[in-house]
Chains A and B, each alone.
Chain A
Amino acid sequence: MDMNEIKEIFFQECEEQLAELESGLLKLNDGDRDPETVNAVFRAVHSIKGGAGAFGLDDLVSFAHVFETTLDCVRSNKLEPTQDVLKVMLRSADVLADLVSASRDGGSVEESRTRGLLKELEALARGEMPTGGGAAEAPKPAPAKAAAPAPVPAAAPAPAPTDESGFQPIPFTFDGFGADEPAEDLSVFEVSFKPRRDLYAKGNEAALLLRDLSRVGEMSINCDMDQLPAFDKMDPEGAYFSWTIQVKTAKSEQDIRTVFEFAEWDCDLDVKVADSSAEELPMVPVPFDLSILDDGTSDADGDDGGAAEAAAQAVAAAETATNVTKMAAAAARVEKKESQAAAAAAAAAANAANAANAANSAGQTIRVDLDRVDRLINLVGELVINQAMLSQSVIENDTTGTSSINMGLEELQQLTREIQDSVMAIRAQPVKPVFQRMSRIVREVADMVGKSIRLVTEGENTEVDKTVIDKLAEPLTHMIRNAVDHGIESPERREAAGKNPEGTVKLTAKHRSGRIVIELSDDGAGINREKVKQKAIDKDLIPADSNLTDEEIDNLIFMPGFSTADKISDISGRGVGMDVVKRSIQALGGRISISSRPGNGSTFTMSLPLTLAVLDGMVVTVAGQTLVVPLTAIVETLQPEASAIHSFGANQRLISIRNSFCPLVDVGRILNFRSIQANPVEGVALLVESEGGGQRALMVDAIQGQRQVVIKSLEANYTHVPGIAAATILGDGRVALILDVDAVVAASRGQSLRQDSGMKADMSLAATG
């Protein structure tokens, strides 16, 4: 695994942490005061910081650090998470997300934004901080120092972000961070290093450790060989040497210890300042095998110039923490409770529990390449078809239907179906990430237009296919912007109307009859029908004298080229309107509708298929070919009577359905399966509604039935076929084509079905039914 892959994983984890962070902050915003929520938020920021440090993403580290410090004040109840505080934090979360994506994709985040927020965060952290006393002799300057200079902020604080709470960092190598520090900060450490035999047994090598140590700074080594026994008494696997090393370095004690990070348990290590210079105070040497945790604490104390008393206290606290940590190794669960009990004494313990928690949850999920899942889905689809074919041939040869083969087959059938369902479930994901993204959009847009708006989400754990989720974000964003910008009135107007000045946008998701239904409602003014109608007339979308029902007027907003905003604002109304939303929802095989009550707001309802891999279709026969028509397109099916068919012009025919006339389209003719039109009376008409609105009656020869089909791409090995959306494989193992209803309807309107015209003349389409 190379560095880039690891980095990629880090960014993926960042996404999750950011989601966790945001949802935690929103919970706090809603008045949740559960310490676990605060911890989760804190953990998320901390994990991002830790990972970013390992990859040397300094901007990210420095911002995360300040954010973390402020969050820690919340955690230790020094800062009340009021609405105002949380507003800053939510914005910080947004900036953190931007910094993460900037680090991933290149680019940068506006410095002024970061700096402004950093100041606000620091102010929060400082403002509420108690001035003295208690077990926490807080090293206040540490966080402030971390934030102030942008270029080298990570150098000192990142390896030792320990503050008064005793929070401990996950050790990471920060080699090279101290490189730019001024030379006068050099200090001399005396390191005594005595390996035990286990060190060698575990494949460590003293020479390599010493070599690494030499990179920290200038050093002089003294090897103590007194322990070396006579040759005949020597254990070849024993450890007899010890070293005393003087290191002259600009780096901290932590950096020296980092060198021994993986050997620490198997050696006696002692690091002390031999000759303290400048601000570094002599410290009580801490025996290293206590834990790596303590030295972080003592280091921070050293920085602070705090009393030896404080150091002793810290050591004591850390000892508690160490005990708890040791227990964590044995029983993570018990340990968690334990740590909570001990939280007052040593908050570090909680952190250990968090680490254990994180480890637990990491064990529950795995990351799998989407391609692999898709391949599995393909194979299972094939298995289902194969099983159907096998059943068919067994039934043909075994008329009694009682043989053991038959029974076995039935079981096989059940199993394959179950496998198919489970495999499909792998692709299913909760809609939560998309919903969370929306809360940021609501925040930003509300800020921009000066409204106060709350987003309420429900059913975030409703699962739907990943492809659907990915494609849902864009239309949803558009609608949310619309709702905030146009739907909800300004606070003054809301107050005048006797409403809560704070508007509410509600986003819900639920499963309903094998589809996912997403509702977006606002408690705004609702659709101004007069205005909408006038606009439609002005734009020549409807005739001036048309008589429309309220519902029809509401649906006008989905018409192409419709935008009601009086002024084109930055947020919405850029000319791409709800028609784009409608089209993208339809592209997913979904439908969208609106209901609105003047004065009470509007509700958009989207119904989407749970997966794009399968489709409910009607299997029909056209000119001897089997075709599948997507069920979502079909409004109704009917058997035309001769009296209902009317000729219209040279070769058009209309069918009258409940007193309205609808053009008849012969699918076989459009697809060039036959050259003469079929007799409509002998076939079946499928009444379909298409993208551009308007109904068409598609003529097919017969309906075979209705079934769920697995969608297969034609483009993978061939080119796009006009009039055909995709292919599928039926139970008999043959390929059937899935009709592209929109294209067929468009062709029936006189547009050529072929986009590319370089084809043979006889291929060109007679676009009539």
Chain B
Amino acid sequence: MSYAVKNLAQGSRELIAFRIGDQEFCVNIMSVREIRGWTKATGLPHSPSYVMGVINLRGAVLPIIDLSARLGLRRAEPTPRHVIIVAQVKNRVVGLLVEAVSDILTVTDENIQPVPEVSSDLEKQYARGILAIDKRMICLIELDALFPDTESEVA
């Protein structure tokens, strides 16, 4: 039984859906702290390519992750229309750069279909289920899996 299904067994759950390129993804709303507009980040030396740098979030230094690049898609070219999802991942707070937030979904576990067998390792690593809503396909991802304890171990 997958992580998401196990957690959702208790009943319905809210998810935040967002768009990257032509794909839609969603994460558990409980891990999302806030959503803010894109501001230029200060680049970090020797960082993985998906780390865009750090920004000032009311006095805290917040690393910005290009989620598109992290998921193995095209690198994002941020515009003022891009948004940053500020999310709590384990005990850290990170900003996830996405193109747009599309929806807030309330789902129960029967809405979530298991991830089909695909060859890509990365998908297996982060995808926790697939939702079919209004003919759209939304992939549920688990943030904890995207950011293991040390950023540098993956890439």
**A interface residue numbers (CB < 8 A to B):** 378-379, 381-382, 385, 625-626, 671-673, 712-714, 716-719, 721-724, 727, 729, 733-737, 753-754, 756, 758-760, 763, 765
Question: How far is B45's CA from A719's CA once the two chains are assembled, in angstroms?
Answer: 12
Confirm or deny: B48 has a beta carbon within 8 angstroms of a beta carbon on chain A: yes
Q: What are 25 contact pairs spanning A and B, CB under 8 A?
A: A382-B58, A385-B59, A625-B43, A671-B45, A673-B45, A713-B61, A714-B54, A717-B62, A717-B94, A718-B51, A718-B54, A718-B92, A718-B151, A719-B152, A721-B46, A723-B45, A724-B44, A727-B61, A729-B56, A729-B59, A733-B56, A735-B53, A759-B46, A759-B48, A763-B48
Given A625-B43, A724-B45: A714 in contact with B61 (beta carbons within 8 A): yes
Which residue, of A713, A719, A736, A753, has the highest number of chain B Cβ atoms within 10 A? Answer: A719
Is B56 in contact with A721, judged by CB distance below 8 angstroms? no
Question: How far is B59's CA from A625's CA once the two chains are assembled, in angstroms?
Answer: 20
Confirm or deny: B150 has a beta carbon within 8 angstroms of a beta carbon on chain A: yes
**B interface residue numbers (CB < 8 A to A):** 40-49, 51, 53-56, 58-63, 92-94, 150-153, 155
Is B48 in contact with A721, judged by CB distance below 8 angstroms? no
Given A714-B54, A717-B92, A718-B151: A381 in contact with B59 (beta carbons within 8 A): yes
Question: How far is B42's CA from A712's CA once the two chains are assembled, in angstroms?
Answer: 14
Given A713-B61, A721-B47: A735 in contact with B155 (beta carbons within 8 A): no
Q: Which residue of A lies closest to B93 (CB)?
A: A717
Is B152 in contact with A758, judged by CB distance below 8 angstroms? yes
- A736 → B minimal CB distance (Å): 7
Question: How far is B53's CA from A385's CA once the two chains are assembled, in angstroms?
Answer: 20
- B57 → A minimal CB distance (Å): 9
Q: Which residue of A lies closest to B58 (CB)?
A: A382
Tell me which residues across on chain A come within 8 A of B53, comparing CB atoms. Answer: 735
Question: How far is B150's CA from A719's CA once the two chains are assembled, in angstroms?
Answer: 7
- B66 → A minimal CB distance (Å): 14
Is B152 in contact with A721, judged by CB distance below 8 angstroms? no
Question: How far is B142's CA from A296's CA once the two chains are assembled, in angstroms?
Answer: 69
Is B59 in contact with A378, judged by CB distance below 8 angstroms? yes
- A375 → B minimal CB distance (Å): 9
Given A378-B59, A717-B93, A735-B61: A758 in contact with B45 (beta carbons within 8 A): no
- B63 → A minimal CB distance (Å): 4
Tell me which residues across on chain A come within 8 A of B45, comparing CB atoms. Answer: 671-673, 721-724, 737
Given A717-B63, A718-B92: A763 in contact with B54 (beta carbons within 8 A): no
Is B42 in contact with A672, judged by CB distance below 8 angstroms? no
Is A716 in contact with B44, judged by CB distance below 8 angstroms? no
Is A716 in contact with B54, judged by CB distance below 8 angstroms? no
Is B155 in contact with A716, judged by CB distance below 8 angstroms? no
Q: Which residue of A lies closest to B154 (CB)?
A: A758
Is A759 in contact with B63, judged by CB distance below 8 angstroms? no
- B145 → A minimal CB distance (Å): 18
Tell me which residues across on chain A come within 8 A of B43, comparing CB atoms. Answer: 625, 673
Q: Which residue of A lies closest to B57 (CB)?
A: A717
Q: What are the nearest 6 A-B pairs in CB distance?
A: A382-B59, A671-B45, A718-B63, A735-B42, A727-B61, A729-B56
Known: A716-B92, A756-B152, A759-B48. 12 other contacts (CB 8 A): A626-B42, A672-B45, A713-B61, A717-B61, A717-B62, A719-B151, A724-B44, A727-B42, A734-B40, A735-B42, A735-B56, A756-B150
Question: How far is B149's CA from A758's CA once the two chains are assembled, in angstroms?
Answer: 14
Tell me which residues across on chain A come within 8 A of B49, comparing CB atoms. Answer: 760
Tell me which residues across on chain A come within 8 A of B51, comparing CB atoms. Answer: 718
Question: How far is B40's CA from A256's CA once the two chains are assembled, in angstroms?
Answer: 74
- A122 → B minimal CB distance (Å): 55
Q: Which residue of B lies closest to A383 (CB)?
A: B59
Tell me which residues across on chain B come within 8 A of A760, comparing CB atoms. Answer: 48-49, 155
- B54 → A minimal CB distance (Å): 5
Question: How far is B59's CA from A410's CA once the two chains are assembled, in angstroms?
Answer: 22
Dominant secondary structure at the A interface: loop
Tell me which residues across on chain B come within 8 A of A378, comparing CB atoms. Answer: 59-60
Question: How far is B59's CA from A379's CA once the two chains are assembled, in angstroms?
Answer: 7
Tell me which residues across on chain B come within 8 A of A716, comparing CB atoms. Answer: 60-61, 92
Which residue, of A379, A385, A625, A735, has the highest number of chain B Cβ atoms within 10 A? Answer: A735
- A679 → B minimal CB distance (Å): 21
- B152 → A minimal CB distance (Å): 6
Is A736 in contact with B92, judged by CB distance below 8 angstroms? no
- B130 → A minimal CB distance (Å): 30
Is A735 in contact with B46, judged by CB distance below 8 angstroms? no
Is B46 in contact with A625, judged by CB distance below 8 angstroms? no
Question: How far is B47's CA from A763's CA once the two chains are assembled, in angstroms?
Answer: 8
Is B59 in contact with A727, judged by CB distance below 8 angstroms? no
Question: How far is B21's CA from A60's CA once the two chains are assembled, in angstroms?
Answer: 70
- A163 → B minimal CB distance (Å): 56
Is B61 in contact with A759, judged by CB distance below 8 angstroms? no
Tell me which residues across on chain A come within 8 A of B59, comparing CB atoms. Answer: 378-379, 381-382, 385, 712, 729
Tell me which residues across on chain B come within 8 A of A756, comparing CB atoms. Answer: 150, 152
Tell me which residues across on chain B come within 8 A of A382, comparing CB atoms. Answer: 58-59
Tell me which residues across on chain B come within 8 A of A759, comparing CB atoms. Answer: 46, 48, 152, 155
- B72 → A minimal CB distance (Å): 15
Q: Which residue of B lies closest to A712 (CB)?
A: B61
Tell me which residues across on chain A come within 8 A of B61, comparing CB atoms. Answer: 712-714, 716-718, 727, 729, 735
- B78 → A minimal CB distance (Å): 15
Tell me which residues across on chain B come within 8 A of A733, comparing CB atoms. Answer: 56
Given A716-B60, A717-B61, A735-B54: A758 in contact with B46 (beta carbons within 8 A): no
Question: How far is B56's CA from A626's CA once the two chains are assembled, in angstroms?
Answer: 14
Is B42 in contact with A763, judged by CB distance below 8 angstroms? no
Question: How far is B49's CA from A690's CA once the two chains are assembled, in angstroms?
Answer: 31
Tell me which residues across on chain B come within 8 A of A765, comparing CB atoms. Answer: 46
Which residue, of B43, B58, B59, has the highest number of chain A Cβ atoms within 10 A? Answer: B59
Question: How far is B56's CA from A763's CA once the two chains are assembled, in angstroms?
Answer: 25
Is A736 in contact with B60, judged by CB distance below 8 angstroms? no
Is B40 in contact with A763, judged by CB distance below 8 angstroms? no
Question: How far is B61's CA from A727's CA once the two chains are assembled, in angstroms?
Answer: 7
Question: How far is B152's CA from A378's CA once the two chains are assembled, in angstroms?
Answer: 28
Question: How far is B46's CA from A673's CA once the two chains are assembled, in angstroms?
Answer: 9
- A638 → B minimal CB distance (Å): 25
- A406 → B minimal CB distance (Å): 25
Tell me which residues across on chain A come within 8 A of B46, comparing CB atoms. Answer: 671-672, 721-723, 753-754, 759, 763, 765
Question: How far is B93's CA from A626's CA once the two chains are assembled, in angstroms?
Answer: 24
Question: How far is B44's CA from A672's CA once the two chains are assembled, in angstroms?
Answer: 9
Tell me which residues across on chain A come within 8 A of B48, comparing CB atoms. Answer: 759-760, 763
Tell me which residues across on chain A come within 8 A of B152, comparing CB atoms. Answer: 719, 756, 758-759
Is A717 in contact with B44, judged by CB distance below 8 angstroms? no
Tell me which residues across on chain B come within 8 A of A385, comparing CB atoms. Answer: 56, 59
Question: How far is B153's CA from A716's CA once the two chains are assembled, in angstroms?
Answer: 18
Is A721 in contact with B60, judged by CB distance below 8 angstroms? no
Tell me which residues across on chain B come within 8 A of A379, comparing CB atoms. Answer: 59
Question: How far is B53's CA from A729's CA once the two chains are assembled, in angstroms?
Answer: 14
Q: Contact partner of A737 among B42, B58, B153, B155, CB < 8 A? A: B42
Tell me which residues across on chain B come within 8 A of A727, comparing CB atoms. Answer: 42, 54, 61
